Amino acid sequence: MNIDAHFIQFAVIQLIMLVLSICVHEFGHAYVADRLGDPLPRSQGRVTLNPLAHIDPIGTLLFPLIGMWAAASHSVLAGRTLGWGKPVFVSMHARYMTRRISMQMSDLLISMAGPAMNVLMAALLSGIFVLLLRLGFPLYDAERDMPLFANYVASMIQLNLGLAMFNLLPCPPLDGGAIIRYLLPREHPVVLALERYGQFIFLALLLTGGLRFIMGPATWLTQSWIALLFRLAS
């Protein structure tokens, strides 16, 4: 593959969108944990929208760039790389956490806050996207053969919705694992198996392409949402 100016521009913009989306996601975890009384995220400087606080050099920068290169070069690795941020650590110490809700509910709320922030960001960007289309902003510059701002807004909507639904998969270490922990007793065989083997299950799905199959409905939903926004803007 020849790395030209178009690819460099694409990679930089895609990386910026991913970093911002991951930043919002991790901030959601830290903010809710902080509001529930956990002092650890604030002490580690995570209750902020500053991307530098949430970037993981490998997960946020290196892996996404490998994925972009693989997709552009039609490599067998295409679509098999993901991006992630620096995890938000919480203490969940009963001494600090609010007593208005159970520890189990606090764990669920903290875990769901990341995907919720991505959905909120997608909703905000959806309003901006519809407004841009109604004002006549084009999606693509045919003369220079490149997407324009409105197109990137649509991509970021899809990215945030996809990130939210991906993280809601009920498999630790993803946020959706908290759903299983909330619905089932901690000693339940399913909970114990997922906590012990969840990372291996996730890795197997990633390497075999099973993850892409599981995320098929999420892809359809995000595409359907963008199609609905086009109809609202017409």
pLDDT tens digits, 64-123: 887 777 666 654 444 445 678 999 999 988 888 998 999 989 999 999 999 999 999 999
This prediction's pTM:
0.89
Q: Which residues are catalytic?
A: 26
Helix H or strand E encompassing 55? none
Interval 189-228: pLDDT, tens: 888 888 888 888 877 887 787 888 888 899 999 999 999 9
- Dist. CA 24–CA 113, nearest whole Å: 10
> How far is the C-alpha of 179 from the C-alpha of 184, rounded, in Å?
9
73: closest CA among 151, 7, 154?
Answer: 7
For the chain, list the strands marked E by DSSP: 140-141, 146-147
89 DSSP assignment: P
